[in-house]
Amino acid sequence: MSSRKAERAALARKRRKERAFRDDAGRVHLVLQRDPANGHERVALKAPLFAEQWQNELAASAATTVLGVLRREPTLEGVLELTRSALASTERLIAALLARAPAGALACKSGCDHCCHQVVGVTAAEALTIHAHLEATRSADELERLKTRVAELHERARGLSSAERFSPAHPCAFLEAGSCSIYEVRPLSCRGMNSLDAGECASKLREPEGRAEFLAKGHGGRCFVEPIQAFRAVSAGLQLGLSELYHLDARPLDLLAVMRLLLEGDAELGDAWAAGQQPFEAALREQR
């Protein structure tokens, strides 16, 4: 291990020892318990996070998975393994929820990209997983073109509110020919959105009157609620597990901004984050 990485690891251990089980505001959400049946440690919520009990159980399960995968010391490789597992399990859960819907109720289909023109919130763990996927699946030339595209879209969006970025003029950087080019590792929030009315989606994005009405109401259109509840529970469990158990920065980031940092930045950004530093501060999602 290089001296730089060793210093990061030592600092991370000290910070986690001092502030474990507390978020940046000093609050405690998680408690460790030992299963009397097998003696294994598991994570429980100190108090409910959601009104639905199944969401609280799902969040606690996700936090327990964080503990099981990362164990005593988090590494970038461990976080990537954890995130890929969480994305896959969330995909299976949402598929099971959608399977209970009436035939023909789901409006989403390949080539339907109306929801791919807005600010997307991700955690650092999700962004790092996307970046690792890109490096493994794209050539140097393709990565260079993507870096240019991300930079152009980020400059175009700079200073705009979330409402202003909900527009055909601000597509996701990974939208290609109407389809998601990182579908296997797309963010949790993207997995939770499943519309009941594609026409409504098109209207609120592409028609001035429909868009104005949608933005004035301040809430989404007709969609399946349970997948949204599921991704929020999983995301909450992962964020709390990473932040409270390991004191890693799990604050929501702007996907476009953090991908620009990763594509243009230091190759050790991921290791710095896994060591407890905050290299993605500039990509924090602004609630405007």
Position 287 scores a pLDDT of 46
**Does the pLDDT of residue 73 top 90, yes or no?**
no
Position 2 scores a pLDDT of 62
Supply the angle between the helices 124-137 and 255-264 in degrees, to the nearest 10: 50
pLDDT per residue as tens digits for the range 80-94: 999 999 999 999 999
**Does the pLDDT of residue 70 top 60, yes or no?**
yes
Mean pLDDT along residues 136-164? 96
Give the confidence band of 219 by pLDDT, cuts at 50, 70, 90. low
Return the residue matching tokens 């991704």. 231
Share of the chain above pLDDT 90, in %: 67
Residues in the chain: 288
**Does the pLDDT of residue 54 top 60, yes or no?**
yes
Give the Cα separation of 177 and 187 in Å (integer): 19
Closest CA to 234 of 19, 82, 46: 82
**Does the pLDDT of residue 62 top 90, yes or no?**
yes
Position 74 scores a pLDDT of 92
Position 16 scores a pLDDT of 46
pLDDT per residue as tens digits for the range 154-199: 999 999 999 999 999 999 999 999 999 999 999 999 999 898 888 8
Position 218 scores a pLDDT of 66
Position 288 scores a pLDDT of 44
**Does the pLDDT of residue 6 top 80, yes or no?**
no
Return the residue matching tokens 């290299």. 279
Are the CB atoms for 245 and 67 separated by under 8 Å?
Answer: yes
Cβ contacts of residue 180 below 8 Å, gap of 6+? Answer: 116, 172, 174, 186, 190
Distances (CA, A) of 21 to 41, 50, 110, 233: 15, 19, 42, 18
Position 222 scores a pLDDT of 82
Position 211 scores a pLDDT of 84
pLDDT per residue as tens digits for the range 8-45: 656 555 544 444 455 556 678 999 988 888 888 899 99
pLDDT per residue as tens digits for the range 95-123: 999 999 888 888 888 888 999 999 999 99
For residue 242, the tally of other CB atoms under 10 A from its CB is: 24
DSSP 245: I
**Does the pLDDT of residue 213 top 50, yes or no?**
yes
Closest CA to 151 of 122, 131, 173: 173
Most confident of 107-111, 206-210, 229-233: 229-233
**Does the pLDDT of residue 49 top 90, yes or no?**
yes
- Provide φ and ψ at 251, rounded to 5°: -65, 150
Distances (CA, A) of 104 to 17, 99, 199: 52, 11, 14
Grouping H, G, I as helix, E, B as strand and the rest as coil, residue 180 is strand
Position 22 scores a pLDDT of 56
Grouping H, G, I as helix, E, B as strand and the rest as coil, residue 109 is coil
Q: If you average pLDDT over every residue of the chain, what do you get?
A: 89
Evaluate the CA torsion angle 151, 185, 124, 48 in order and state its sign. Answer: positive
Position 39 scores a pLDDT of 81
Burial 77-89 (b: 16+ CB within 10 A, else e): ebbbebbbebbee
Q: How far apart are the first and last CA of the chain?
A: 42
Encoded tokens for 146: 């993507």
Residue type for 191, please? R
